[in-house]
Amino acid sequence: MAKAKKTGDTLASRLALVMKSGKVTLGTKSTLKTLRSGKAKLILIAANCPPLRKSELEYFTISAETTEEVAGK
């Protein structure tokens, strides 16, 4: 159980580091644009993301061979 909490802390700390560096894209439209250009390395999808948008993001994530995480499963 401790490992899961440590992983969550690691994800939160990594996210904070990325936000601080400024190398982050927020929003569906800009994320899709980044995926199409091949610049995305990791996609985080919120748990409350609409199903249609989620499937669209998943499709482009697979096409771009990018890692995907769904937050708050």
pLDDT at residue 1, as a whole number:
45
More confident of the two residues 70 and 58? 58
pLDDT at residue 28, as a whole number:
92
More confident of the two residues 27 and 17? 27
pLDDT at residue 8, as a whole number:
57
CA distance 60 to 69: 14
Confidence of residue 14 (pLDDT cuts 50, 70, 90): confident
DSSP at 23:
-
| Average confidence score pLDDT of the chain | 82
CA distance 12 to 28: 21
Confidence of residue 29 (pLDDT cuts 50, 70, 90): very high
In the chain, what are the domains? 24-73 (3.30.1330.30)
